[in-house]
Amino acid sequence: MSIHIRDISKSFGSFRALDRVSLDVPDGTLLALLGPSGSGKTTLLRIIAGLEFPDEGLIEEDGEDITERHARAREVGFVFQHYALFRHMNVFENVAFGLRVRKVPKAEVTARVDELLRLVRLEGLGGRKPSLLSGGQRQRVALARALAIRPKILLLDEPFGALDAKVRVELRQWLRRLHDEIGMTSVFVTHDQEEAFELADDVVVMNHGHIEQQGTPDQVFDQPATPFVMDFLGNVNVYHGRVENGRAFWHGIPIDYPDYPHAQARDARVYLRPHELDITPATSVASRPGTSLPASVLRVTRSGAITRVACRPHGSETELHVDLPTDTARTLTLEPGTAVSITPRRARVFLPGPEYVI
């Protein structure tokens, strides 16, 4: 089932949670709504579920207008952040709830619930109360409960937020496989970019009630549409620079920026990801003005497979952060004070101003 959202707005008092948001979710897609807290992602999810209603705008499912339709009639499976399992019911009754309120015959309920408990690998735990389950088990009960009504759309609000790191990764991979098997249109909310990139077909980055960018994980990561997306998806070095004649300059190194062909110079910002910078010893042939930048090392911090190097470019007060594979860092024998030269493999330029807000 495809979802089309047109110009949805929603305010809570004076707070504008969503500001004319439009979004398409193609049939069978697993889509992530990614953004910081307060960006409106959960509100959007709840509006799709019918748990909130937009002040203006339109929602369509397969071309049918469902904007005014009550949550009860939407046939949407919703998994809540803190599971929201019915505490006084055991696992079986939790999963059976949606069928019981639909007056499904008893034998059919039992068969369906047993099937779902097998699907989420919880067979034999039907008699347990939710309070006796681990976080990951509760999450799977919540998922089975949502799937019991054979929803057309599955919505998940921060589905792994309350789990510890190891369980989170396991459950994430399992959910991806489950989605591939069932093939249901699914939308989940997360503030964790790793989760969004690993799990989703499509990522929607949200900020302050509007969508910054929608695309595949690769598109969003490699071609961030706005400084916000660039900033939000991982660490970044930001520099003030100038742009003119289709080129920006960062410490004298030219960076192509064809979007601004004008001769009149303009303020711009240069964004450099730490892992897209190379370090070479200062004596190397690669070190020459115009392509690389002389700098001295300030700190070297090893963080697992990555080594973070803080440098100070000569004649500059700002620190520059470079991430290297630990093996590469070792062969370079970097120490505080080492003279190096830094070459950007890639840089992005954004002009300040509202024209970059989609």
Q: Which residues bind another protein (CB under 8 A)?
A: 49-51, 70-78, 80, 82, 84-88, 97-98, 100-102, 115, 118-121, 129-131, 134-137, 139-140, 145-146, 148-149, 162-164, 167, 170-171, 174, 177-178, 181
Burial zone of 63 (CB within 10 Å; 0-12 exposed, 13-18 middle, 19+ buried) = exposed
Q: Smallest Cα–Cα separation from 190: which of 204, 211, 201? A: 204
Strand (E) or helix (H) holding 76:
strand 76-79
Least spacing, CB of residue 142 vs another protein, in Å: 8
The nearest distance, CB 136 to another protein, in angstroms, is 4
Shortest gap between Cβ of 41 and another protein (angstroms)? 17
In the bound state with another protein, the residue whose beta carbon lies nearer, of 49 and 320, is 49
Between 120 and 253, whose beta carbon lies closer to another protein?
120
Report, in Å, the least distance between residue 20 CB and another protein. 25
Distance CA 33, CA 40 (A): 9
Nearest-angstrom CA–CA distance, 151 and 70: 15
Pick the closer one to another protein by CB: 102 or 242.
102
50: region left, alpha or beta (phi > 0 left; psi from -120 to 50 alpha)? left
From residue 161, alpha-carbon distances to 34, 91, 157 in Å are 13, 21, 9
Beta-carbon contacts of 325 under 8 Å, excluding residues fewer than 6 positions away, are 305, 306, 307
Nearer to another protein, 123 or 327 (CB): 123
CB 276 → another protein: shortest distance, Å? 35
Residue 163 Cβ, how far from another protein at the closest point, in Å?
Answer: 4
User: Do 249 and 289 form a contact (C-beta atoms < 8 A)?
Assistant: no
Q: How far is the CB of 253 from another protein (least distance, A)?
A: 47
Whole-angstrom Cα distance, residue 308 to residue 300?
6
Q: Are 33 and 206 in contact (CB under 8 A)?
A: yes
DSSP 225-247: SSHHHHHHSS--EEEEEEEETTE
Distance set, CA 154 to CA 144, 159, 238 (Å) = 11, 12, 38
Question: With respect to another protein, which residue has the nearer C-beta, 135 or 246?
Answer: 135
Could you give the CA distance from residue 322 to residue 300 in angstroms, rounded to a whole number? Answer: 10
Taken in order 264, 267, 270, 271, the sign of the CA dihedral is negative
- Asked whether 344 and 253 are in contact (CB, 8 A), the reply is yes
Whichever of 13 and 63 has its CB closer to another protein, that residue is: 13
Nearer to another protein, 72 or 107 (CB): 72
In whole angstroms, the minimum distance from the beta carbon of 272 to another protein comes to: 37
In the bound state with another protein, the residue whose beta carbon lies nearer, of 134 and 301, is: 134
Q: How far is the CB of 241 from another protein (least distance, A)?
A: 44
